[in-house]
Chain A
Amino acid sequence: MIKALIGKKIGMTQLFNEEGMIVPVTIIKAGPCTVVTKKNKQTDGYNAVQLGFEEVKSYRVKKPILGKFTKNNISPLKVLKEFRDSDEGDLKIGDTIDVSVFNEAKSVSISGITKGKGYQGVVKRWGFSGGRDTHGSMFHRAPGSIGQSSFPSKVFKGLKMPGHMGNNKCTVLNLKVVKIDAAENLLYVKGSVPGAGNSILYIYAADESGRKLK
Chain B
Amino acid sequence: MNIVEKIENSSLKTGTPVFKSGDTVKVYQKIKEGDKERVQVFEGVVIARKGSGLRSSFTVRKNSYGVGVEKTFLVNSPLIDKIELLYRGKVRKAKLYYLRKKKGKDTKIERLDMINNNN
Q: Which residues of B contact A16 (CB under 8 A)?
A: 11, 76-78
Interface-located stretch among B2-10, B38-46, B106-114: B2-10
**Pick from B4, B30, B74, B79: contact of A13, CB under 8 Å:** B4
- Is B3 within 8 A of A11, CB to CB? yes
> 0/1 per residue, A142-164, Cβ < 8 Å to B?
00000000000000000000000
Report the Cα distance A186→B3, complex, angstroms: 10
Q: Which residues of A contact B11 (CB under 8 A)?
A: 15-16
The verdict on A14 contacting chain B, using a C-beta distance below 8 Å, is yes
A41 to chain B, nearest CB (A): 41
On B, residues with C-beta under 8 Å from A are 2-4, 7-8, 11, 30, 32, 54-55, 74, 76-79
The DSSP consensus for interface residues of chain B is: mixed
Report the Cα distance A29→B76, complex, angstroms: 25
> 0/1 per residue, A14-29, Cβ < 8 Å to B?
1110011010000101
22 interchain pairs, CB-CB under 8 A? A10-B2, A10-B3, A11-B3, A12-B4, A13-B8, A13-B54, A14-B54, A14-B55, A15-B7, A15-B54, A16-B11, A16-B77, A16-B78, A20-B30, A20-B77, A20-B78, A22-B74, A27-B3, A27-B4, A27-B7, A29-B3, A184-B3
On A, residues with C-beta under 8 Å from B are 10-16, 19-20, 22, 27, 29, 184, 186
Minimal Cβ-Cβ distance residue in B for A184 = B3
Give the 6 A-B CB pairs with smallest separation, nearest first: A20-B79, A11-B4, A20-B78, A10-B3, A13-B4, A16-B78
Q: Which residues of A contact B54 (CB under 8 A)?
A: 13-15
Report the Cα distance A16→B13, complex, angstroms: 11
Report the Cα distance A12→B55, complex, angstroms: 12
Minimal Cβ-Cβ distance residue in A for B77 = A20
- 11 further A-B contacts with Cβ under 8 Å, apart from A16-B76, A16-B78, A184-B3, are A10-B3, A11-B2, A13-B54, A14-B55, A15-B7, A15-B54, A20-B77, A20-B79, A22-B77, A27-B3, A27-B7
Minimal Cβ-Cβ distance residue in B for A15 = B11
A88 to chain B, nearest CB (A): 31
B41 to chain A, nearest CB (A): 17
Report the Cα distance A11→B7, complex, angstroms: 11
Report the Cα distance A184→B54, complex, angstroms: 21
A102 to chain B, nearest CB (A): 18
A143 to chain B, nearest CB (A): 40
Report the Cα distance A129→B2, complex, angstroms: 40
B109 to chain A, nearest CB (A): 30
Q: Which residues of B contact A10 (CB under 8 A)?
A: 2-4
Report the Cα distance A27→B11, complex, angstroms: 15
Name which of A11, A20, A22, A184 has the most chain B CB atoms within 10 A of its CB. Answer: A20
A175 to chain B, nearest CB (A): 17
Report the Cα distance A72→B7, complex, angstroms: 37
Q: Which residues of A contact B4 (CB under 8 A)?
A: 10-13, 27
